Structure 1
Amino acid sequence: MLRLGNPGRRISIGLIAMTFVLSIFAGRLVQLQGLDSKVYMAEAARQRVQEERIPARRGSITDVNGHELALTVEAREIFVDPYDVVPEQRDKVAAMLAAELGRPKQEIAAKLADTRKRYVPVASVEPIRAEKILKHGYKGVGSTHEYRREYPGGDLAGTLIGFVGDDGNGLSGLELQHNKVLAGRDGQQTIETGRDGQRIPMTRSTSRQPVEGRDVRLTIDRDVQWAAQKAIAEQVEATGARTGSVIVMDVRTGQVVAMANAPELDLEDWENTTEDRWVNRAVADVFEPGSTNKVITAAAALESGAVRPETVFTVDDEIRCADRVLRDSHPHPTEKLTFSGVVATSSNVGTILAARKVGDAKLHETLRRFGFGTRPGAGFYGEEAGLLPSWKDWSGSQRCTIAYGQGISVTALQTASVYQTIANGGVRVTPSIVAGTTDAGGAFVPAAEGKRTRVIGERTAREISQMLEAAVGAEGTGELASIDGYRVAGKTGTAMRYDAACQGYCGYTATFAGFAPADKPRLVVLAVIQDPRKGHYGGEIAAPVFKKVMTFALKSKKIPPTGAEPPEVRIRAGE
């Protein structure tokens, strides 16, 4: 007989199965909406909530007259979302962006090819250009608000000012040195967005407004800076030199009016420039100063009372120092020079004879008081201290060569500071480059004045000034630095140049440092040229640069001649 199934049993089995399945669903629901609800709510919120950085406007860097050397302008960052771009439109999007941005189409296409990325920056453009791009209406192309750093002068004071990176923070120069002042503080905004990135209306949002950066005003004069850069660049090229630097400094305040290097850094193209071009050589490169250093030996001799300007020295064209025979700066028969004549004619032998009357300890102390062996304290990015060995460690020959500037090393800024001290009656003012900053309200706040230190007596400074004025006269080594109508004081320098590449002395350093008007000093100008190939004497290589820059600066600052006649300075005994 045919046996029929038991419907009751089938129903029981079905109910058991359904109960089991429903219990699983119920358990999962209890887990999702009960036990793990907070976890999933937090994850959902995390996906919806987006944090956006609100960039702060970076402060400007201006010259002493308010002309902008570095400024921040509004910009838009064009980006693409490769995942969101319609596949059929990729070629059109790449062609459009390439045409609008002036970029190769292949470069844009490569950015669009990686659909794993949701945000790919393409370019930073002006707001008007961004608006034009977005009007094409392509999905996956957008823009965000940002700021862009611009340098109107291009390479004007490039190594001094420095530059900023893609994140808007300073990477070198004053941009890095004063980054905290210039950068301000970014704001932040929190919003809720949907799947496609659109903002969800009526949802929570919080924001912290950005704090704009403050402006930094320099002591640099834009016009004098331009003239200094032009003069040093032309001379470096004309002489086949490796590098060059010029510093212009205000005698009374120690403020730097110009600081130029050649070659200079183009701030609009710094990314394509080698790192050795980023260095501000005027404060970072060290070299042996040569005869420009003789003024310190002269100061030590006069301050000790062992020598007077009229003291007569019998000067041969060579002198023995320990195991070495050192020659004078130029061949000549034995002659009798006054100490003023020793400085004016830049005699190495005469300077050594004067240094012997002073002694090593006293000479070292005077070098230290003028700032050698320590950083100038001006706050320049990358400034070096140079090298001043203890007098106890001087070798037999160093006891002679240091007197005329070989065996120690300095920077251009340190040398310029020496001549500022002499021109300022023996009072050193710590060099400075920042005139002041703006406060939160935009008002200008002047920087503190440079520290003033008495280094030598006023009488000593005046006597050295007269010697330096004679050095620019007909019998001196710096005649090419003379300026019609003005009394000029200055000193040439020609030093053998140590080069690590050849592990010895290779080439020369040509320098000229001086001030004008000599009897009422207002400006110091220092010119340094490294490794010139066409000539090497400071009087013929660096003095013409001094003349060009000083002449321009005097006219630009409207500093008139004093009209006074220079005093008679006796160079040789019996004159």
Structure 2
Amino acid sequence: MKSRNERSHVGLRRFRLTLGLFGCAWALVAARLVDVQALRFDQFSERARLQHQRQIQLSARRGPILDRHGREIALDVRSVSFYCRPHLVEDPDGVAAHFARFRGTTVESVRNLVDKRRPFAYLLRQADESQLDAIRDHEFAGVFEQEEVRRLYPYEQLAAQLIGFTGIDNDGREGLELALDYRLAESTGSALTWVDSRGQQLVGRRRAHQPARNGASVQLTIDVVMQRILEEELIRSVSKTGAESAMGIIADPHTGDLLALASVPVFDANHPGDSPAAHRRNRTITDPFEPGSTFKPIALAAVLEEGLTRTAAQVFCEQGAFVLATGDTLRDTSPHGWLTTAQVMARSSNIGMIKLAGELRRADFYDYLRRFGFGTRTAVGLPAESSGLLRHASEWSDRSLETIAIGQEVSVTALQLVQAFGAIANGGTLMAPRVVDEVHEGSERRVTPVQKVRRVISNHTASRLQRMLAGVVTEGTGKAAAIDGFTVAGKTGTAQRALIDGAGYAEDEYIASFVGFVPATSPRYLALVVIENPRVGKYGGVVAAPAFRRTMERVLELDGSLEGIAEPIAAAAESVGLQIPDLRGLVVSHARQQAVRRGLAVRFEGAGPFVISQQPPPRSLRPTGVVVCWLGEADDIAAPALRQAPRRQSVLLQKLARERHLAALGG
């Protein structure tokens, strides 16, 4: 048995050992505290901050594009994107399988995005609103939502080649979206936000570093109703004649304002990738063509201005066949003997026009053509504008003056031809075409001024040409362009389509055109219709003149000048959203979205998830005030005839009918 002293000694040693161990532990803790709190304080503070703070991007809106009356042609709407931080994702396979359904891609392609080596990856950009509930049904660690904006074109194909479209990042890609990107583009901002342990943002904990700035608002000279009218009539003509394509322009000859500018086939600017590039091209400025007889008034303007002929002067038209200095034989469509200058224009005699233009000197004729704007861009400010083809007079052959006078051996764009005819219509002054009316950026307002380029011909010469062009419609090749109650002035054109390599003309392929203005002596509107490669008919007076007439009749009715025609304006008005949409049966969020897209103010009354009635009623003309929608439950919705309801309401109401035993009413 150990003595009491020995036991005391062992206990003392144990106590000292324990005390030493505790001392060492406290020393280690103290050293660690010094390391964390003093030596590496900044490093650990930064790590803590990164765990609880995120720098996020503040969205801004790209500027809207409006028509001349303030209707939104292009605007930004709310959109939601989904992204991940791969190092936080706990179930990468589940994330890949879930988002592959909505992306329309393989699971493997999404799985590659959720790579731990990536700091960030988008899983789905600008999700369709109808998909959001299904996407949110599954929550995944490390997957977050980001509120963005996307570009919406509420009129879809309307003026799509002119307006263009944006890319996924809302940058301008074509058309005015590209040309005015420096004005329309927004400037995103940044902010610090605090997150919880799951990475979710804490409400109210955000501090802006750099504020976001919205893009400028751009108002155009285009009228969406006139644009719709023009597109409808071009589509009708293409369908009726079996043509390959068509294009047209409506303008104000006094200001140069472009009121409508269209190319057919069309495409939906919301889905540009679904259409070939050829359909997206603004061919009114990019694709020059030989104008044929629509060029004769330009040549005659030079002859009249130089005093080389008079309206009543007579020209012998050789009974329809004339041998040029080169030995080539030129023929008229119909044989003519003696014709006055006015009759040469009315009957579109090639021989008569060549004889009249033959009095001009080459240099003088070339100078007039340049003064009318041919061979140079109009500077309208649209991408990829062509200057057409007009060779210098020094490069002309022995027959060039004569053939150019009848619209061959020269190519023009539709916009150049409209600009030149505008000078004849307004009394002799070439006007710069205007497509942008004004730009609003914050409190600053920039107006594009009406610009006179130059005086081309005298008012007296312009007046004589106006009367001759009126004769084309009353007694010549343009009779199909006549409008009851108005004097119409214009010129038909029929030209063989030139081969791409310039080595001759395509067999049995034609470009039919009509360009004119109304009224003839004090015009309000100038319009051009070009039908390319029609298979039923080929002459401008047969194919293009009727399309001009229908277009102008509807435009004149629009401004109240013409009443009682067979083609009511309501059809075009409805198609561009001038009528109130049917919001009944929609949930509140969808009803609000439909109203906002059409530029309507809306107010909701009552309680419930559905719109059960509205005032003004559907399909009435757009009011100046607010659309009031009354809310209620599904049982409160009146049972309409389902086959007459818009598709989205019809689907909803059919669903409700199954729940309430509703029956569609027959008619």
Q: What TM-score range do you get, normalising by the shorter chain?
A: 0.7 to 0.9
Deviation at 1:342, TM superposition (A): 0.6
Question: How far apart, in 2, do the equivalents of 1:468 and 1:436 lie?
Answer: 34
Could you say what secondary structure the match of 1:268 adopts?
coil
Q: Which of 215, 218, 231 in structure 2 is aligned with 1:216?
A: 218
CA deviation profile, 1:516-565 (whole Å, cap 9, x unmatched)? 0112211001001122222211111111111111111111123369xxxx
Q: Which amino acid aligns with 1:60?
A: P
Q: Which amino acid aligns with 2:237?
A: Q
Could you say what secondary structure the match of 1:358 adopts?
coil
Question: How far apart, in 2, do the equivalents of 1:346 and 1:535 lie?
Answer: 18
Could you say what secondary structure the match of 1:406 adopts?
coil
State the partner residue of 2:381: 379
Please tell me whether the aligned partners of residues 61 and 149 of structure 2 are also in contact (alpha carbons under 8 angstroms). Answer: yes
Q: Which amino acid aligns with 2:110?
A: K
Q: Which of 305, 316, 320 in structure 2 is aligned with 1:303?
A: 305
State the partner residue of 2:495: 495
Could you say what secondary structure the match of 1:473 adopts?
helix
Mapped pair 1:360 → 2:362: yes
CA deviation profile, 1:478-499 (whole Å, cap 9, x unmatched)? 1111111110000001112112
Structure 1: gaps spanning 5 or more residues: 1-25, 562-575
CA deviation profile, 1:361-419 (whole Å, cap 9, x unmatched)? 11111111100011112212222111111111111121210011100110000111111
Please tell me whether the aligned partners of residues 81 and 120 of structure 1 are also in contact (alpha carbons under 8 angstroms). Answer: no
Q: Which of 537, 540, 552 in structure 2 is aligned with 1:550?
A: 552
Could you say what secondary structure the match of 1:542 adopts?
helix
**TM-score of the pair, normalised by structure 1:** 0.83
Q: Per the alignment, do residues 171 and 201 of structure 1 end up closer, same or farther by CA in structure 2, a change over 3 Å counting? A: closer
Mapped pair 1:55 → 2:31: no
Q: Which amino acid aligns with 1:69?
A: I
State the partner residue of 1:471: 472
State the partner residue of 1:505: 505
Question: How far apart, in 2, do the equivalents of 1:404 and 1:356 lie?
Answer: 11
State the partner residue of 2:344: 342
Question: How far apart, in 1, do the equivalents of 2:88 and 2:53 lie?
Answer: 20
CA deviation profile, 1:125-180 (whole Å, cap 9, x unmatched)? 36796477446433243210100111111100010000000111100000011111
Q: Per the alignment, do residues 560 and 113 of structure 1 end up closer, same or farther by CA in structure 2, a change over 3 Å counting? A: closer
Deviation at 1:321, TM superposition (A): 2.3
Q: Per the alignment, do residues 483 and 206 of structure 1 end up closer, same or farther by CA in structure 2, a change over 3 Å counting? A: closer
Equivalent residues in 2 for 1:318-329, closer than 5 Å: 318-329=321-332
State the partner residue of 2:638: none
Deviation at 1:201, TM superposition (A): 11
Please tell me whether the aligned partners of residues 90 and 109 of structure 1 are also in contact (alpha carbons under 8 angstroms). Answer: no
Q: Which of 249, 253, 256 in structure 2 is aligned with 1:254?
A: 256
State the partner residue of 1:486: 486
Could you say what secondary structure the match of 2:529 adopts?
strand
Could you say what secondary structure the match of 1:368 adopts?
helix
Question: How far apart, in 2, do the equivalents of 1:202 and 1:553 lie?
Answer: 54
Deviation at 1:216, TM superposition (A): 0.8
Question: How far apart, in 2, do the equivalents of 1:47 and 1:504 lie?
Answer: 73
Question: How far apart, in 2, do the equivalents of 1:552 and 1:419 lie?
Answer: 21
State the partner residue of 1:239: 241
Count of paired positions: 526
Could you say what secondary structure the match of 1:64 adopts?
coil
Percentage of matched positions with identical amino acids: 35
Question: How far apart, in 2, do the equivalents of 1:40 and 1:500 lie?
Answer: 70
CA deviation profile, 1:426-477 (whole Å, cap 9, x unmatched)? 1121111111121303x75432222352110001000001110110113x01
Could you say what secondary structure the match of 1:342 adopts?
helix
Q: Per the alignment, do residues 211 and 326 of structure 1 end up closer, same or farther by CA in structure 2, a change over 3 Å counting? A: farther
Please tell me whether the aligned partners of residues 283 and 411 of structure 1 are also in contact (alpha carbons under 8 angstroms). Answer: yes
Mapped pair 1:73 → 2:74: no
Could you say what secondary structure the match of 1:259 adopts?
strand
Could you say what secondary structure the match of 2:250 adopts?
strand
Q: Per the alignment, do residues 462 and 125 of structure 1 end up closer, same or farther by CA in structure 2, a change over 3 Å counting? A: same
Q: Which amino acid aligns with 1:449?
A: V
State the partner residue of 1:182: 184
Could you say what secondary structure the match of 1:53 adopts?
strand
Please tell me whether the aligned partners of residues 427 and 456 of structure 1 are also in contact (alpha carbons under 8 angstroms). Answer: yes
Q: Per the alignment, do residues 251 and 115 of structure 1 end up closer, same or farther by CA in structure 2, a change over 3 Å counting? A: closer
Q: Per the alignment, do residues 503 and 237 of structure 1 end up closer, same or farther by CA in structure 2, a change over 3 Å counting? A: farther
Question: How far apart, in 2, do the equivalents of 1:217 and 1:489 lie?
Answer: 31
Please tell me whether the aligned partners of residues 72 and 150 of structure 1 are also in contact (alpha carbons under 8 angstroms). Answer: yes
Could you say what secondary structure the match of 1:472 adopts?
helix
Could you say what secondary structure the match of 1:352 adopts?
helix
State the partner residue of 2:614: none
Structure 2: gaps spanning 5 or more residues: 1-30, 564-667
Please tell me whether the aligned partners of residues 321 and 335 of structure 2 are also in contact (alpha carbons under 8 angstroms). Answer: no
Q: Which amino acid aligns with 1:439?
A: E
Please tell me whether the aligned partners of residues 245 and 282 of structure 1 are also in contact (alpha carbons under 8 angstroms). Answer: yes
Q: Which amino acid aligns with 1:379?
A: G
**TM-score of the pair, normalised by structure 2:** 0.72
Please tell me whether the aligned partners of residues 76 and 145 of structure 1 are also in contact (alpha carbons under 8 angstroms). Answer: yes
Q: Per the alignment, do residues 517 and 205 of structure 1 end up closer, same or farther by CA in structure 2, a change over 3 Å counting? A: closer
Deviation at 1:109, TM superposition (A): 6.6
Q: Per the alignment, do residues 501 and 154 of structure 1 end up closer, same or farther by CA in structure 2, a change over 3 Å counting? A: farther
Could you say what secondary structure the match of 1:548 adopts?
helix
Could you say what secondary structure the match of 2:438 adopts?
strand
Query: Which structure would you say has the larger RCO, counting Cα contacts within 8 Å and 6 or more residues apart?
Result: 1
CA deviation profile, 1:239-270 (whole Å, cap 9, x unmatched)? 22222101000122110110011001211210
Mean alpha-carbon deviation: is it higher for 169-178 or for 376-385? 376-385
Could you say what secondary structure the match of 2:246 adopts?
strand
